Amino acid sequence: MTAMAEAVVDLDAIAHNAGVLAAASGPAGMMAVVKADGFGHGAAEVARTALRHGATWLGVASVPEALALRAQGFTEPLLLWLYPPTETFDEVLRAGIDVSVGGVEALEALADAADRTGTVATVHLKIDTGMSRGGAPVEEWMQLFTWARKFESAGLLRVRGLWSHLAGAEDPQSAHLRTQLHEFEVGRQTALTAGIDPPILHLANSAAGLQVPEARHDLLRAGIGLYGIEPVPGRSFGLRPAMTVRAQVLLTKRVPAGTGVSYGPDFFTDRETTLALVPLGFADGVPRQAAGRAEFLVHGVRCPVAGRVSMDQVVLDVGDLPVRAGEYAVMFGPGDGGEPTAAEWAAWAGTNPNDILTGIGARVSRRYEGAP
Ligand SMILES: Cc1ncc(COP(=O)(O)O)c(C=O)c1O
């Protein structure tokens, strides 16, 4: 069976990007963030490649994501950072997975689990330094550290990391970033006061790792850069986009001027033209909001999406190009061959490239090129 629509993942690009990010990392190296199925690229394939090219850690959001990596044979240090309040952690601790903790309830649950399973819970204490998302708020830092120290003394828990997440690092001089860097240092000092001296401090994402040396600390948590999206608009670190999404044209038809296309219709051809049907729709990650601006590359030429994006398909206005069924229409790729990039799709849809990459649906088959 040939794939009607596919996402081709270039593992050589992932390897290259891992090398660039690892070179910008602190002494504990680089964490390959492979949550959301490796930003849509395939968690296991990305993890394997990144680990061979400089990554020392893996990071995911959820318990099922972490357990899946262990089940696939990944034995490297692995951190997870989101779980429900009812999580018991037995399986997580048996699998040797590090857990992010931002509150005393989770510390207690982990200590209980360690006691039950005869293990030691390895945790990274997460402090909120100004993003107001996960992590302990400043007024709870001391309490968190004090309880962590208590469970450490009881032999149930080991604090391996102290960490926080940045709201943005695109502008190294931004006042908000500077405040977060300062708050993280305050957090470290507060931890030391409570008798906690975590060996691994981590704060930086791709952008911070690449251009804010003060944010690097011991470990760089790299997501978007690993997948080849330049994390700082207007600056190139030589990263290579790893994913190309394309689909075969299913049929073409010649239509006169004034022909209505797709739902509504709210698009009418302005001349006699050829329309090409491409089996990628919003269920596959083509954003509906991009209609009116979006383009695919077909027959070597950028062609606009005509009319609304349907669930399973789009129609391209290919003009007088001699496009035939079976030819590939490229939604996005590295951009080398004139095709749009994920960053361009993000601009057309009013979103970010992460949204475009993770939005590529399960129906689009993944194919791997290059060496892991
Ligand atoms: C907690 C955490 N750390 C690091 C990253 C990686 O950030 P970036 O994709 O900007 O490199 C993410 C990704 O969203 C994240 O959620």
Is residue 77 very low, low, confident or very high in pLDDT (cuts 50, 70, 90)? very high
Q: Is-contact 191 199, C-beta < 8 A?
A: no
- Tell me what the mean pLDDT of segment 302-307 comes to: 98
Whether residue 100 has its Cβ less than 6 Å from ligand 1: no
**CA-wise closest residue to 348 among 302, 312, 311:** 302
Residue 328 among the catalytic residues: no
Catalytic-role residue among 83, 150, 263, 328:
263
In DSSP terms, 253 is beta-bridged to 275
Kindly give the number of the ligand 1 atom that is closest to the alpha carbon of 221: 4
Quickly list DSSP for 220-279. Answer: EEESGGGGT--SSTT--------EEEEEE--EEEEE-TT-B-SSTT--B-SSSEEEEEES
Whether residue 225 has its Cβ less than 6 Å from ligand 1: yes
| Model confidence pLDDT, tens digit, residues 184-221 | 999 999 999 999 999 999 999 999 999 999 999 999 99
Structural domains for the chain: 11-227 (3.20.20.10), 243-369 (2.40.37.10)
Q: What is the pLDDT of residue 2?
A: 76
Per DSSP bridges, beta strands 365-369 and 5-10 are parallel
Q: What is the pLDDT of residue 3?
A: 84
Q: Whose CA is nearest to atom 1 of ligand 1?
A: 165
- Tell me what the mean pLDDT of segment 240-253 comes to: 98
Dihedral in degrees, nearest 10, Cα atoms 134, 139, 145, 148: -60
Say yes or no to pLDDT of 303 above 80. yes
Whether residue 124 has its Cβ less than 6 Å from ligand 1: no
**CA-wise closest residue to 121 among 106, 136, 110:** 110
Is residue 366 very low, low, confident or very high in pLDDT (cuts 50, 70, 90)? very high
Instruction: Return the percentage of the chain with pLDDT > 70, whole number.
Output: 100
- Centre a 10 Å sphere on the Cβ of residue 209 and count the other Cβ atoms it contains: 30
